[in-house]
Structure 1
Amino acid sequence: MNLLRKSLLTLLATFLVAAQAMALDIGNLKDQGVVGEMSTGYVGIVISNPSTEIRSFVQDINNKRRAIYAQEARKANITLAEVEAIAAKRNLEKTQRGHYINMNGSWRKK
């Protein structure tokens, strides 16, 4: 009985970790309509009352993008704003149909 209980607890813990990892996957969040691509080159939150976890996740993604954009700007000897504009165009073009995009401050499905 003790072994069965440990196995079930391990299975439950594994399931919860997998569910959390799945919930904080950018693709899944886009599929769920929680986040979308913005015309700034960054990800934005579509829903009105996001959890702290979602806000932190989006901020982390945007910080990583900003670091990559800055690195690319230095390499190409152009401004961060120019790289952001290029990335925004590419990201919006690559956004799947049915996912949200933000153009001119307004969310809409592509």
Structure 2
Amino acid sequence: MMSSFMRKSLGQFLATLMVIAALAVTSMPARADALDDARAAGLVGERADGYVALVDSNAPANVKNLVKDINDKRRVAYQKIAAEKGVPVEQIGAITAEKIIREILQPGMYYMDATGAWKTK
């Protein structure tokens, strides 16, 4: 019999996997490549809440549009998973952010820490 802690941890793990899968499905390959390019150029970084943001406010319009598009897709995915799992949408975003920062970001790419400061991986 599983303890409530183990059930909660397993549920969070499964929710994270679902978010990553949903993001992979909802992001067209061209968008994923564009996001990777913008990250590598230091224009875009990952926030602790699971969304992307401009690191450079002078980024070109296409990068600003990319950030909006990616965040819109993530918001829909997070809301869907949060509703299915009965957890706050913020929890889904935060879990996803941790996974993206830990496993997807490459050295030199930016992420925002808990204080709101940009850091490089």
TM-score tier by shorter-chain length is 0.7 to 0.9
**Aligned with residue 45 of structure 1, among 37, 54, 58:** 54
Q: Following the alignment from structure 2 to structure 1, what is the Cα–Cα distance between the partners of residues 93 and 68?
A: 16
User: Which is higher, the Rg of structure 1 or of structure 2?
Assistant: 1
Identity over aligned pairs, percent: 33
d(CA) in 2 for partners of 1:82, 1:40: 8
Match of 1:108 among 80, 95, 119: 119
In the aligned structure 1, how far is the partner of 2:92 from the partner of 2:86?
10
Q: CA deviation at 1:44?
A: 0.9
TM-score of the two chains, using structure 1 as the length reference: 0.73
- How many equivalent residue pairs? 89
After superposing on structure 2, the runs of 4+ consecutive aligned residues of structure 1 that deviate more than 4 Å are none
Residue equivalent to 1:11: none
Instruction: Give the RMSD, CA atoms, in angstroms.
Output: 1.7
2:86 paired residue among 77, 94, 102: 77
Gaps of 5+ in 1: 1-20
How far apart, CA to CA, are the structure 1 residues paired with 2:118 and 2:91? 23
**Structure 2 residue corresponding to 1:96, chosen from 91, 99, 106:** 106
For structure 2, the residue ranges without an aligned partner over 5 or more in a row are: 1-29
